[in-house]
Structure 1
């Protein structure tokens, strides 16, 4: 299956959601290229950026699951960098 490079931007407003968020990210670890987390203590939030290279449906599913967590918002930006599956052509 073709993979696509994307960035998922996450803002965590409720600390209770962090454990479940980390579980979701752990489950997707094979696709995650990098992760940057910034605790913004004066505002009481965490800002997380995930670089991912995965099939489109995997990215969409992960972003959707993250966005459904209470106290968490997520947005995904997709690149035009698509890697064809082995044996595929593009």
Structure 2
């Protein structure tokens, strides 16, 4: 199976969804290369960056599940090719 590197950017405006975010990320833990969280207290949001190495369907599935949560914004950037 061919995999790609992807960077998923998450902006958390609804802190009530943090437990759901962590549960979803745990489900995809085997594909996550790294994770960085930044609390931006002045704006009342948290920013999370996730780096994944997975097939397109897995990356899209994770992004989609996160994007369906209320008050959560998600954008995904893919590498140009899998290696």
- 1:34-88 deviation line (CA, Å, top 9, x unaligned): 00000001111000000000010000010000000001000000002403xxxxx
Correspondence 1:35 to 2:35: yes
Superposed, 1:39-54 pairs within 5 Å as 39-54=39-54
1:78 matched to which residue of 2? Answer: 78
Counterparts of residues 1-90 of structure 1 (less than 5 Å) = 1-83=1-83
Q: Which stretches in structure 2 are left out of the alignment for 5+ residues?
A: none
Compute the RMSD of aligned alpha carbons: 0.7
- Cα distance in 1 for partners of 2:57, 2:4 equals 10
Q: TM-score, normalised on structure 1?
A: 0.90
Three-state SS of the structure 1 residue aligned to 2:82 is strand
TM-score (norm: length of structure 2):
0.97
